[in-house]
Structure 1
């Protein structure tokens, strides 16, 4: 998944990759790959390769090459027994390179242990030309006994870069400690080579950069790739039930409803309006489930005895594998009857589980798994995958997205360690179902990852999200005994449709964090991004297709259903990824999926309001320009408009060509000002720089609120004032639409009569008058000189304002 290469200069903003990179020349930047050689064409091994001379290239060309010394400790054999007890020793291996050392786990009393452990020492940390591998016997109460060692000269270590095959391990005889050439009993199987981050052993290796991490924290510093679970909609149509008997008051007909549960998702049908023994609902209940299907669908028929009390009349647990998966071409699903297990109060002893009683109650349902819908595991504004869940509906990819996570600069301290600020940063990238996580750089404010990842692209109108976090799971806990949570540093989003195909974008993106104290720049993230098109025809054809699968439009969900399903999907994804090793923790998943994007925020409301205002700024500017023309403020411009009016009136067939030609010229004029980089977080657009401290405190408040009563009162009054302005604007828009409807509705008989007579007169005049004359007269009237204008409102405006609306009927 991760790798590197010598394809380009990371300090250059934009570049095209070629067979050789003339931007580098012979002067390599620090850590750059240097001149490239054809892959598989041999390569300098030994110390020359280690020092950066005659380096082979790899297939990863967006990131800089980083060289590591890999040591694979496989196993040992024929180890001598403990010289004191005579029992088999407790062996472990210590690998030492200069001041860095790593150890394997130890085995109790084993003469032929197997470790299969890989160590990786970064080139930038090398302080010695000799690698030493020690075999030791662990002592519980004293100093560990030395058994023997194997020594390697780095000048003799071979270089290996994929797609070369892995280096075969070899048996080495253990030497005496003094290095006099004597051999001791026992052998070690080792493999030592110089490689890059493209090596298969890189993600699982112990890294010298994280030598201070111990115990369970070791797994959390490694780079990993994750796959989101495949999500389905479970649609349960509860039709009816038969022979439902109440537990109490046998002569009473029960008020029955059905409660369905899948995992922690619980939905209920309505209570039947008329009590009956054979209730009927015909209601749909929607759930989100994930493969593999671990939960069951539990249907419980309950009786509403009183407003605060419900009796369980029967239940049935159904495995999700029982239901068929419905596609577009199979809209019909067969319904089925299921017998209920009855639970009777009289049949149970207090303190024991209710016993099952036999009876003939059953429930009639129609359930299926719908894979043609796109399960929203994220905000609808930032969709990263539009493919249907059902594999039968998949289409071939149209492109490949490659992202090289180069590094970060100027990160802020996120915690204290030994009395000083520290940051242990790692990156998480999410696109489609694939999540990736880089390795953690310990105690580094300018980390360098140089890891490259690839995704298949099925729709360019999608977004990749990349976040930076501080690893807080290196063996420490949070305050007050609470579990630690990885802190957010910042994130960016890149919409693939804004990228030119086959072009490499190397850019530093600011990491912006919104905190209670305000907006803060947390550093910069340097990325190299390339979007490669596999089929230009297919990609252009996608622009004419619906964004989501067909069934999404044939059987649409309500807004309430979509919100509930989205939150359930987020919870499922977070729970499944949290069960990986190392886990992708819930706070990371929620931040990447914008789980809080639908919560109320005064700052976000202001931002959206000004976005709407700026949307009409172009129309307002055009209206002001036309108003200046009509007022004759610039006589030359007004004269040119009159000439254009005469040409278009005399040759009306030129109207539409002129409009499209004008838009074509505008597009060409704007080409030179096209964006050079993908957009990043904008604090001004987000209205984060001007947000009031109390507004930020409200945004970070919990739900339900945890603030004092007087603060909640003040915020509620402020919310009412904002909502009042919003409802006024919405009401005005509705009023104008209703006035248009009332023109022909005879709600105002006199106004409708006048408008009908006007329409008749206009039809006669337009029939007998040539269109050119009408257009010319109308244009000259609109462009008439101000001395012929009245300051009073025009007659059509007065007439329209007098029309009735439905606002008169509102309370």
Structure 2
């Protein structure tokens, strides 16, 4: 600029800052399901550690070639572990499918209900960075994923050394692949059993999360910012941990839509209800006298509990105690590893995998996006129907006393009055005995038609007729 103009125009740089004045929160940088740290940000609020975690990263076996070097397959592997605020990285072992690291690290443990994450990667930044992958594409810009292992500390017995090989599984666009095994030696040492038991009764997150809770959007936004800060900090380390490594360790895409994850979560829910369904089938068999001996024993137990109601709760807790002792025989001997069946990664559709690995926003053609959108609408429609059915049942229950259907409400309040009079005049033992014998009656005295209470409940109005 000219001299006069130079004095008139002044330029000032800008510094973008984010300042947190409240250290009572814990900002997650990893998925809440695999969190390794729940402590407040302020170091003054930290409590004493309850134990020590020692991890020996011994080596890996049967690794697959991740790139081509001099016309042959090669892998330059290193291991990364993350627990709490401490990240570690082993040295890179060049050109071997069975690297031996033999490195040991320790962490202080403040909460046993946390997870340590270990990942194995192929260093694609060595030898000039010009290697080509097996498919011919350049891998110089990103370190390749070989696999990941998660271990929850609460599943480890105290003061026991676990020496196991964990399968390294990675999900590609073409399916799940086992890329090798990671050999680890782990020991979780507790400093005080009393403190360990005390921790189980304490809130998981710091106080501020309950006094002034964050919204879901704020948690996700803070996590995204925290991941970027961690990636920039570790990228300046020596040797650096690059952004793709940090994102893989922190499950950056765990919130993204995936048909595979949706199926896996659905079957997880079904497995939770399987025990309830099993109990219901067993009770139905008892009521229908499929096994007369079992039905007679249930009748005897029922009569004892009715005659001595003070034994109901002790019997219930004693039953849970016996179940716990019985299941002790089948307890897992070693920490669990990645399960492809649980993740629904073995039978997933190729197009669903391609959708899961698509960028955000999508980079696919319009016809592919349209097809996936229609599929998402069909899945969401089924979910919408289930949620609507649940809401309908709740609205019917609420309409019992809302006088929306005056005749139904009149019948119900008259029934309630008569029931109250009968229950006041009848001893509780007699009521419980009559109810139990009615539900356990022989199939000869049962009708295949729906019961009167079921018919009455299904006729109650819901708000569905007022919806557009």
Q: How does 1:438-587 map to 2 (within 5 A)?
A: 438-477=90-129, 483-587=140-244
Tell me how many residue pairs correspond in the alignment.
453
Shift of 1:622: 0.2
Q: Show the counterpart of 1:136.
A: none
Query: Quick one: structure 1 residues 485 and 761, their matched pair in 2 at CA, closer, same or farther if it must change by over 3 Å?
Result: same
Provide the residue aligned with 1:401 in structure 2: 53
Could you tell me which of 652, 656, 661 is aligned with 2:318? 661
Q: Which residue of 2 aligns with 1:415?
A: 67
Q: Does the residue aligned with 2:275 lie in a helix, a strand or coil?
A: helix
Which residue is equivalent to 1:724? 381
In structure 1, how many angstroms separate the alpha carbons of the residues matched to 2:280 and 2:444?
20
Given that 1:476 and 1:484 are in contact with CA atoms closer than 8 Å, whether structure 2 keeps it comes out as no
Match for residue 437 of structure 1? 89
2:360 corresponds in structure 1 to 703
Instruction: State the structure with bigger RCO (CA 8 A, min sep 6), 1 or 2.
Output: 2
Pick from 624, 635, 638: which aligns with 2:281? 624
Assess, with a 3 A threshold, how the Cα gap between structure 1 residues 481 and 679 changes in structure 2: closer, same or farther: closer
SS in 2 for 1:502: coil
- Is the contact between residue 508 and residue 526 of structure 1 (CA under 8 Å) also seen in structure 2? yes
Structure 2 partner of 1:609:
266
Tell whether the 8 Å contact from 1:505 to 1:530 is kept in structure 2 after alignment: yes
Mapped partners of 2:21, 2:463: distance in 1 = 44
Question: The residue matched to 2:208 in structure 1 has which SS?
Answer: helix
- Which whole-Å deviations, capped at 9, do the CAs of 1:41-98 have from their partners, x for residues lacking one? xxxxxxxxxxxxxxxxxxxxxxxxxxxxxxxxxxxxxxxxxxxxxxxxxxxxxxxxxx
Give the superposed CA RMSD. Answer: 1.7
Alignment match of 1:645 (pick from 302, 305, 308): 302
Is 1:387 matched with 2:32? no
User: Structure 2 vs 1, CA of residues 409 and 753 (structure 1 numbering), >3 Å: closer, same or farther?
Assistant: same
On the 8 A contact 2:124/2:140 being kept in 1, the answer is no
TM-score (norm. length: structure 2): 0.94
- Bigger Rg, which one: 1
Matched, 1:597 2:249: no
Runs of 4+ displaced beyond 6 Å: 479-482
Pair 1:374-2:26 in alignment: yes
Gaps of 5+ in 2: 13-18
5 Å-filtered alignment, 1:771-786, equals 771-786=428-443
Instruction: Answer 1 or 2: which has greater strand percent.
Output: 1
Cα 1:774/1:482, change in 2 over 3 Å: closer
Residue 795 of structure 1 and its aligned partner are, at CA, apart by: 1.0
Secondary structure at the counterpart of residue 745 of structure 1: coil
Distance 1:662 1:477, change over 3 A: same
Q: 1:789 aligns with which of 413, 438, 446?
A: 446
Q: CA, structure 1 residues 725+576, in 2 after alignment: closer, same or farther (shift >3 Å)?
A: same
Deviation per CA, 1:439-488, whole angstroms, max 9, x where unpaired?
11111101111111000000000000000000111133356888521100
Distance 1:611 1:377 in 2: 26
Q: Is the 8 A contact 1:512 1:522 kept in 2?
A: yes
Alpha-carbon distance, 1:353 to partner: 5.3
Distance 2:105 2:399 in 1: 60
Provide closer, same or farther for how the CA distance between residues 540 and 635 of structure 1 changes in structure 2, counting only shifts above 3 A.
Answer: same
TM-score (ref. length: structure 1): 0.55
Measure how far apart 1:696 and its partner are: 0.5
